[in-house]
Chains A and B, each alone.
Chain A
Amino acid sequence: MARNPSRLRKQEERWAYLFLLPQFLGLVCFVLGPVLASLFLSFSEWNLVAPPQWIGLENYRVSLQTAVFWQTWRNTIYYVVASVTGSVFLSLALALALNEKLRGVTLYRGIYFLPVVTSAVAVSIVWRWLYNPEFGLFNALLTAVGLPTLPWLNSLQWAMPSVVIMSVWQTLGYNMVIFLAGLQGIGDHFYEAAEIDGATAWQRFRFITLPLLSPTTFFIFVTAIIGAFQAFNQIYIMTNGGPANATRVILLHIYILAFRLFKIGEASAVSWALFLILFCLTLVNFFVARKWVHYG
């Protein structure tokens, strides 16, 4: 707007800062401030009652020495890898199918997207019922087709896969829609040229669709990984971390440490460890992306 004398420019600047004020006030009070406070808390011992004590790296040392911490990390990595891989591959396949001019495509999209908008708490209660070992629908279906029933959420081996299946079910539609947007951004002329050159269907997928879709795939991978590290609701409702900590993931671990055991310092240390790992992971992601993401 203002390409006028400096008095007007000053005025414009003042307006701009005023407009930014609410969001940046929030940023300082509710994001940056707490991040620093969290770092401070991670070096102290505090149960919310007695005044906090500075104990240096003790919380980090204690965390690293507890078995639950390592189990939590194993669970979290299992959950992140399995749910992200499952969700990304299925949603890509789905998006490819729905990018076709099929009849009823809108209805399909609507159905596959539906779980995304529903409350995780409500659908987790429903899934706990589906997974019920004695009276649940899944075991009834397995019996109907002559397969042995599964203990689902009640067993050490099956609890985490069950949680992953439910999470894939809920996030599939979200990634699908983003993939669809990416697919629709690929110009027809690429496929026309390939056809003239006699490329097979597989070659067109491999050498046109995949590379041109790679920025979308990258975006989905980064956001899905960050999201999966913050999984909480479905696990809190379906298993509460059990059986025997088999589904205890990092956010649940932090929640239990801070709000059930009131070990504020240790919980903060775990949060910061997670933050650093996520940060490095995202950097690695961006670095590796140079090798496989093509920006047209």
Chain B
Amino acid sequence: MVEAPQGLADIEAPMRTQVQPTSQRRRTRLRHFVLHVLLSIGAFFMILPFLWMLSTSLKAPGDVFKFPPEWIPDPIVWSNYAKSWTLKPMGLAYLNSIKISTLTTVGTLFTSSLAAFAFAKLRFRGQHILFIVLLATLMIPVQVTLIPLFILFKWIDWIDTHWPLIVPAILTNAYGVFLLRQFFMSLPNALGDAGEIDGCNPFQIYWHIYLPLSVPALVTLGIFAFLYHWNEFLLPLIYLNSLQNFTIPLMLATFQGAYITDWELLMAAATLALVPVIIVYIFGQRYFVQGIALTGLKG
């Protein structure tokens, strides 16, 4: 769908040649044209679901089932949004999601940067083995811990509260520790030594010297942590029972269950859930794409 591999490898060559014969330049231009056509078609299919969602969300109930479908709704029904906002407590779901995602993100940045700093800049017995143990936990699939964790939280009476979504998320982020450790290692040790001579303890060195220098890494990691918890579905599905505790994805799933064929309302609800993320994405794009590129980062 996107591009055959043959044409791609010689992409870079012509740009490196300082003086190009005209025929070669023409070939480059032709190849670029073909690439643009293919990439545009691909890009169209990537955003098609979003456009279709927007279009449907603004239709009158009867117009949804016109075949062939219309792209521009006539009339445009804005009230679908107000309706889907109030049919289920969407506002409450927003507040719950904001609360959970913010707390987990701030908490996980703190605990994982602390551990990362210890691994990168302090020396202690068992350093190597502890780091390997931490990395090994990345291989454990969610399935294995799912049931015991449910039982644990049932036991301590945390089911249908936000705690099982917040506390483990703050205290387990091996990926974050790994990435921040790499980042701290790239910062010079001399900074810490200077702090030590000035009488700083390790926490002060971490807090006043290294942490301020790590803001770009923390922002990238923070954005991904926030998104991960914002979009999380399986855990809220298991832990939460009452509507007033639901997060956005869970509320959406309930919405689908209740209005299974009211497509204009479902699409309006999906739009309401996606808009904040898409806005954040558009403004923070360089953090997303660069961050992931630098680190191979996930969740």
Seen from chain A, the residues whose Cβ lies within 8 Å of a Cβ on chain B are: 1-2, 9, 12-13, 15-17, 19-20, 22-27, 29-35, 37-38, 41, 48, 90, 92-94, 96-102, 104, 106, 108-115, 117-123, 125-127, 129-130, 132, 134-135, 137, 140, 143-144, 169, 172-174, 177-178, 180-181, 184, 188, 191-192, 195, 200-206, 208-209, 219, 223, 226, 229-230, 232-233, 236-237, 250-251, 254-255, 258-259, 264, 267-268, 270-272, 274-275, 278-279, 282
Contacts of B127 in A (CB 8 A): 16
Are the C-beta atoms of B43 and A112 separated by less than 8 Å?
Answer: yes
Inter-chain CA distance A207–B273, complex, in Å, is 46
Q: Is B172 an interface residue (CB 8 A)?
A: yes
Pick from B73-81, B134-142, B211-219 the stretch touching chain A.
Answer: B134-142
Out of A9, A94, A118, name the residue touching B274 (CB < 8 Å): A118
User: From A100, which residue of chain B is reached at the shortest CB distance?
Assistant: B11
Q: How far is the CA of A13 from the CA of B296 in the complex (A)?
A: 31
A-B contacts, 19 of them at CB < 8 A, read A12-B123, A12-B124, A15-B201, A20-B115, A26-B170, A33-B148, A48-B154, A90-B2, A93-B4, A93-B8, A101-B15, A102-B32, A121-B250, A126-B49, A140-B69, A169-B49, A237-B256, A251-B234, A275-B141
Interface pair A137/B69, CB less than 8 Å apart: yes
Are A174 and B148 in contact, CB atoms less than 8 angstroms apart?
A: no
CA distance A102 to B142 in the complex (A): 40
Q: Known contacts A23-B112, A23-B115, A174-B292; is A209 also within 8 Å of B231 by CB?
A: no
The 10 closest A-B pairs by CB, nearest first: A26-B171, A205-B9, A201-B10, A34-B148, A37-B148, A181-B293, A19-B118, A16-B124, A22-B111, A96-B8
Given contacts A102-B32, A119-B273, A201-B10, contact A108 B39 (CB under 8 A): yes
Judge whether B106 is part of the interface by a CB distance below 8 angstroms.
no
Contact of B56 among A118, A129, A272 (CB under 8 A): A129
Closest to B39 in A: A108
CB contact under 8 A between A94 and B278, given known A23-B177, A34-B144, A129-B56: no
- Tell me the B117-173 residues at the A interface (CB within 8 Å): 117-119, 121-125, 127, 130, 133-134, 137, 139-152, 154, 168, 170-173
Interface presence of B263 (CB below 8 A): yes
A275 neighbours in B (Cβ, 8 Å): 140-141, 143-144
Contact flag A115-B173 (CB < 8 Å), given A202-B9, A233-B233: no
Query: A129-B53, A143-B68, A195-B16 given. 10 additional CB < 8 A pairs?
Result: A15-B201, A19-B206, A20-B119, A23-B111, A27-B133, A31-B145, A121-B231, A129-B267, A184-B293, A191-B12
Q: What secondary structure prevails in chain A residues at the interface with B?
A: helix
Partner of A12, one of B142, B202, B267, B269: B202
Pick the contact of B172: A26, A101, A113, A250 (CB < 8 A). Answer: A26
Answer yes or no: B103 CB below 8 A from chain A CBs: no
- Which of A31, A120, A219, A278 gathers the greatest number of chain B CB atoms within 10 Å? A31
A270–B42 alpha-carbon span in the complex (Å): 39
Determine how close the nearest CB of chain A comes to the CB of B267; give it in whole angstroms: 7
A93 to B38, CA, bound (A): 11
Q: What's the Cα separation between A61 and B177 when bound, in Å?
A: 40
Max chain B CB contacts within 10 Å: which of A2, A34, A122?
A122
B277 at the interface (CB under 8 A from A): yes
Contacts of B11 in A (CB 8 A): 96, 99-100
In the complex with contacts A1-B193, A12-B202, A94-B3, A22-B292 CB distance below 8 A: no
Contact A30 B35 (CB under 8 A): no
Q: Do A125 and B10 touch (CB < 8 A)? A: no
Tell me which of A123, A132, A209, A279 contacts B139 (CB under 8 A): A279
A13 to B111, CA, bound (A): 17
CB distance from B171 to the nearest CB of A (A): 3
A135 to B65, CA, bound (A): 6
B252 within 8 A of A: yes
Q: What residues of chain A lie closer than 8 Å to B249, measured between beta carbons?
A: 119-122, 233
Q: B137, B253, B289: which has the most chain A beta carbons within 10 Å? A: B289
**Given A35-B144, A119-B248, A267-B147, is A22 in contact with B285 using a C-beta cutoff of 8 Å?**
no
Residues of B within 8 A of A125 (CB): 252, 256, 266-267, 269-270
CB atoms of A102 and B35 under 8 A apart? yes
